[in-house]
A and B are shown apart, each in its own frame.
Chain A
Amino acid sequence: MNRTPLPRLAAFFSLALLAACSQRLPIDEGRLVIALPGTPVSLDPRLATDAYGEQILQMTHAALLRLDAAGNPVPDLASGWESPDPLKYVFTLRSGARFHDGRPLTSADVKFTFDWVLDPANRSPHRAMYRHVRSIDAPDARTVVFRLSEPFAPFLSTMVRGIVPAGSRAGGYAPPAGAGPYRIDDVSPDGAAELSAFDGCLDGPPAIRRVTVKFIPDSNVRFLELRMGSVNFALNGVDPDMLAAAEKTGRLAVEEAAGGNVSYLGFNLRDRALSDPRVRRAIALAIDRDAIVRTIWEERADVVDTILPAGSWARDPDLPKVLPDPFRARRLLDEAGYRDPDGGGPLPRLRLTYKTSQNEVRRRVATVVQEQLRQVGILVEIQSLEWGTFFSDVKKGNFQLYGLTWVGISDPDIYFHAFHSASAPPDGANRGGYANARVDRLTEAARREPSREKRREMYREVQRILARELPVFPLWAGRNLLVRDRRLRGFELTPDESYHAVRDLRIDPPAAGPAPAGTPR
């Protein structure tokens, strides 16, 4: 009698294999599973400031306007708007809009949402963004009138905040109803958010009925889940090094588009060494941005010379490029009085600290910058800090160098926010203490100027001044990278990483009933 266990083992493994093959993935059941690299802090559109919260809200809460791929405002809940004078904006709502709970959405809800944000008692972090709003009126159910205290050219781009029903209390993970294509069924902060299609959506119900948003902080885990198929959509969730491996799986496709997130190196201009423009220029000349983009970003980023992303209408295309030149960098340091104490020996000309978050790619960038600056005699100590500590240090001006990224720049008014001498934190973002009277005048005038042509001219001059004085050194704009299941179609990537287009996604070929067992996938 044959007593070897081999045939039985073989049978067991064949059965196991068969079971594995026939295991149904979420996409086979028509479910979209999105991976986010972190947990949202809040899901109330009046309070959320973090990228993950905003991205979920783009699927669940409709706003008066939203921004198209070029950053221009387009209608969402509003069918149109007019501005009879620079201090008045009148929006007309589309008819038939409803919240997830069935209540009709009227101008009273819009007024309530923005009045709530503006009420100091509610401590909304978005209040400063609307400080130019003097009053909001709702003369009839479909008309909303915003009156401003002074002209504010970027006003329309701030009308992208999700609208909540009048009377809604502040909610963190139990947010008030929205009017977007998906409703939030359930959120567990350390796991996932479950969304389902809202049939009463103005633009019709979305094609995919069920969406799970998983919060997965570890990039290896995100990649493994994508590979296994338990996640089928990740926007900027896979490290550039893994993309080739992702494409090799056959199940996944990678899409790439210009991004709106611009990384830069910040200088503290209150520091004795860094207050000298020659030292800042020398640092810029020592850094080889192309090499970093080529190797750390695997070519998935574009070197920039201003902090506006590529598609922006205000960007000056003729700014002088800073090309790496270690020789000139050393000469500039000599001129600034930072001579090499031991002629190529281990003693540095200058010691600086570089603060960065603990984000893995940013830490790698810091390591390369450290080595490139060592080549010109600047000894850099990297301090890679937990996000809260890091950002608080940056806001307090407690740094010499720091690396950070501007996320989702939609209007060139960012120059007022980041470089006007009165824009010190916490209300502004002039963290390095930059002051230039001409930049102050130009950025003030540009935000009051209704003509886009004239604004463009003013911002171009600002960019030329900044390129000369380098209060920050613009590095690169990361491209947006989408890794998705090959069967998902219809998503348009935008520079601002918008999730609005999730409603356009469909599964092709469509998910049918139960798949026959053993179908190889």
Chain B
Amino acid sequence: MDDSPRLLALLRRTARHRGAAIGMFLIAALVLAALLAPFLSPYDPYAQSLDEGLSGPTAAHWFGQDKFGRDVFSRLVHGARLSLAVGIGTVAISLLIGLAAGSMAGFLGGWADRVFTGACDVLLAFPGILLAIGIAAVRGPSFGNVLFALSVLGWVGYARVIRAQVLKVKAMEFVESARAIGAPPSRMLLAHILPNALSPILVEATFGIARAIVAEAGLSFLGLGVAPPAASWGSMIGDGRHFLFVAPHLVTAPGAAILLTVMAFNFVGDGLRDALDTRS
């Protein structure tokens, strides 16, 4: 079965939502910036020119230079890679685990479902960001550790949504008929139930990317994100806040980048939700 016409139709319906259209445009720009970072950034994001530290925006350095004389614009563009990678990576890992756990629990029911629900309740009792801070603090700052710290609890939300969807779809008539004609359980789950249970997950995942980007920025702000000298928007704000009185441009540029990115994903999430809502 070819899903691309359905996907295109969905995108078109989403783009009718004005906010979502702006969001999609921003995300496309961001993805382009991330992909083309080495060509877009006028300077090496790590190269220091110490004597030019804290210079404000100029024609040569559009967003100014940080304490080490590094070009803020180049670091911002490279930071986009990192933010997107963390956002998409975290959601992908969480989704994979959540999809497997949630669909099995919903499909099998019985004791498997009870164990799953109990485990979810226990895991959701942990404050997510505190656990992530704890993990990052123990394991040290690195890209892999950020992904790990954010995915450890990140999957639980997806798993619960999937389980609820699977339970709902499982009781529908077309699934009953598939069972009646003797379809094996694996085929019922993969071919009939899951494809019809995915829409809410798509919305959830879009918001999830935004949440992961904010969480990464938070961890990096605290010095627990990626290791220096890697450019992360959060660590740029974390380093820049010490110069709030002398070089406010160091926090405004990455701050605006985080704001726009998170806003874009949330707008698209809203649009998707409306587009997938069968009542509308």
Question: A-side interface residues toward B, CB under 8 Å?
Answer: 219-220, 223, 239, 241-242, 244-245, 291-292, 294-296, 358, 360, 363-364, 366-368, 370-371, 374, 381-384, 386
Q: Does B173 contact A (CB under 8 A)?
A: no
Taken together as a complex, chains A and B put the C-alpha atoms of A382 and B50 apart, in Å, by 19
A245 engages B246 (CB within 8 Å)? yes
Residues from chain A with Cβ under 8 Å of B67 in the complex: 241, 295-296, 364
B68 engages A368 (CB within 8 Å)? yes
B228 engages A223 (CB within 8 Å)? no
A367 engages B68 (CB within 8 Å)? yes
A367 engages B223 (CB within 8 Å)? no
B229 engages A367 (CB within 8 Å)? yes
**Assuming A220-B242, A358-B223, is B53 touching A295 (CB within 8 A)?**
yes
Cβ contact of B46, chosen from A219, A371, A381, cutoff 8 A: A371
A371 engages B246 (CB within 8 Å)? no
**Assuming A371-B46, A382-B227, is B51 touching A219 (CB within 8 A)?**
no
Residues from chain B with Cβ under 8 Å of A244 in the complex: 246
B68 engages A382 (CB within 8 Å)? no
Taken together as a complex, chains A and B put the C-alpha atoms of A363 and B235 apart, in Å, by 12
Closest to B67 in A: A364
A370 engages B223 (CB within 8 Å)? no
Q: A296-B67, A360-B242, A367-B229 are in contact. List 14 more A-B contacts (CB 8 A).
A: A241-B242, A291-B51, A292-B50, A294-B50, A295-B51, A295-B68, A364-B68, A368-B48, A370-B228, A371-B47, A382-B227, A382-B228, A384-B228, A386-B137
Q: Does B56 contact A (CB under 8 A)?
A: no
Q: Does B273 contact A (CB under 8 A)?
A: no
Residues from chain B with Cβ under 8 Å of A383 in the complex: 140-141, 227
Taken together as a complex, chains A and B put the C-alpha atoms of A245 and B223 apart, in Å, by 26
B223 engages A384 (CB within 8 Å)? yes
Residues from chain B with Cβ under 8 Å of A295 in the complex: 50-51, 53, 67-69
Residues from chain B with Cβ under 8 Å of A294 in the complex: 50-51
Taking the closest CB of chain B, its distance from the CB of A324, in whole angstroms, is: 12
Taken together as a complex, chains A and B put the C-alpha atoms of A358 and B223 apart, in Å, by 8
Q: Does B241 contact A (CB under 8 A)?
A: yes
A223 engages B227 (CB within 8 Å)? no
> B190-227 interface mask toward A, CB cutoff 8 Å, 1 = contact, 0 = none?
00000000000000000000000000000000010001
Taking the closest CB of chain B, its distance from the CB of A353, in whole angstroms, is: 10
Cβ contact of B229, chosen from A220, A223, A239, A371, cutoff 8 A: A371
A223 engages B245 (CB within 8 Å)? yes
Q: Does B161 contact A (CB under 8 A)?
A: no
Cβ contact of B50, chosen from A219, A368, A374, cutoff 8 A: A368
B246 engages A220 (CB within 8 Å)? no
Residues from chain B with Cβ under 8 Å of A384 in the complex: 141, 223, 228
Taken together as a complex, chains A and B put the C-alpha atoms of A364 and B51 apart, in Å, by 14
A370 engages B137 (CB within 8 Å)? no
Closest to B51 in A: A295
Q: Does B54 contact A (CB under 8 A)?
A: yes
Taking the closest CB of chain B, its distance from the CB of A196, in whole angstroms, is: 34
Taken together as a complex, chains A and B put the C-alpha atoms of A364 and B243 apart, in Å, by 13
Chain B facing A: main interface SS: loop
Taking the closest CB of chain B, its distance from the CB of A226, in whole angstroms, is: 12
Centre residue among A241, A360, A366, A382 by max chain B CB count within 10 A:
A241
Taken together as a complex, chains A and B put the C-alpha atoms of A301 and B67 apart, in Å, by 17
A241 engages B246 (CB within 8 Å)? yes
Cβ contact of B245, chosen from A242, A364, A366, cutoff 8 A: A242
Could you write out 26 A-B pairs with CB less than 8 Å apart? A219-B242, A220-B244, A220-B245, A239-B242, A241-B243, A242-B245, A242-B246, A245-B245, A291-B50, A291-B51, A292-B50, A294-B51, A295-B50, A295-B51, A295-B53, A295-B67, A296-B50, A363-B228, A367-B68, A368-B50, A370-B228, A370-B229, A371-B46, A381-B227, A383-B227, A384-B228
B68 engages A371 (CB within 8 Å)? yes
Residues from chain B with Cβ under 8 Å of A223 in the complex: 245
> B119-150 interface mask toward A, CB cutoff 8 Å, 1 = contact, 0 = none?
00000000000000000010011000000000
Closest to B241 in A: A220
Taking the closest CB of chain B, its distance from the CB of A171, in whole angstroms, is: 33
Residues from chain B with Cβ under 8 Å of A292 in the complex: 50
Taken together as a complex, chains A and B put the C-alpha atoms of A383 and B136 apart, in Å, by 12
Taken together as a complex, chains A and B put the C-alpha atoms of A239 and B67 apart, in Å, by 13
Residues from chain B with Cβ under 8 Å of A363 in the complex: 223, 228
Residues from chain A with Cβ under 8 Å of B223 in the complex: 358, 363, 384
A-B CB proximity, top 3 nearest:
A295-B50, A371-B48, A291-B50
> B31-61 interface mask toward A, CB cutoff 8 Å, 1 = contact, 0 = none?
0000000000000001110110110000000
Taking the closest CB of chain A, its distance from the CB of B78, in whole angstroms, is: 15
**Assuming A294-B50, A295-B51, is B245 touching A367 (CB within 8 A)?**
no
Residues from chain A with Cβ under 8 Å of B243 in the complex: 241
Residues from chain B with Cβ under 8 Å of A291 in the complex: 50-51
Residues from chain B with Cβ under 8 Å of A245 in the complex: 245-246
Taken together as a complex, chains A and B put the C-alpha atoms of A243 and B37 apart, in Å, by 37
Taking the closest CB of chain B, its distance from the CB of A368, in whole angstroms, is: 6
Residues from chain B with Cβ under 8 Å of A381 in the complex: 227
Taking the closest CB of chain A, its distance from the CB of B46, in whole angstroms, is: 7
Taking the closest CB of chain B, its distance from the CB of A154, in whole angstroms, is: 38
Residues from chain B with Cβ under 8 Å of A242 in the complex: 245-246
Taken together as a complex, chains A and B put the C-alpha atoms of A291 and B48 apart, in Å, by 11
Residues from chain A with Cβ under 8 Å of B69 in the complex: 295
Residues from chain B with Cβ under 8 Å of A371 in the complex: 46-48, 68, 229
Taking the closest CB of chain B, its distance from the CB of A390, in whole angstroms, is: 12
Taken together as a complex, chains A and B put the C-alpha atoms of A294 and B246 apart, in Å, by 17
Taken together as a complex, chains A and B put the C-alpha atoms of A304 and B253 apart, in Å, by 38
Residues from chain A with Cβ under 8 Å of B51 in the complex: 291, 294-295
Taken together as a complex, chains A and B put the C-alpha atoms of A467 and B48 apart, in Å, by 29
Closest to B140 in A: A383
Taking the closest CB of chain A, its distance from the CB of B226, in whole angstroms, is: 11
Residues from chain A with Cβ under 8 Å of B229 in the complex: 367, 370-371
Residues from chain A with Cβ under 8 Å of B140 in the complex: 383
Residues from chain A with Cβ under 8 Å of B244 in the complex: 220
Closest to A374 in B: B46
Centre residue among A363, A367, A368 by max chain B CB count within 10 A:
A367
Within 8 A of A (CB), among B63-94: 67-69
Taking the closest CB of chain A, its distance from the CB of B38, in whole angstroms, is: 13
Residues from chain A with Cβ under 8 Å of B227 in the complex: 381-383
Taken together as a complex, chains A and B put the C-alpha atoms of A97 and B136 apart, in Å, by 54
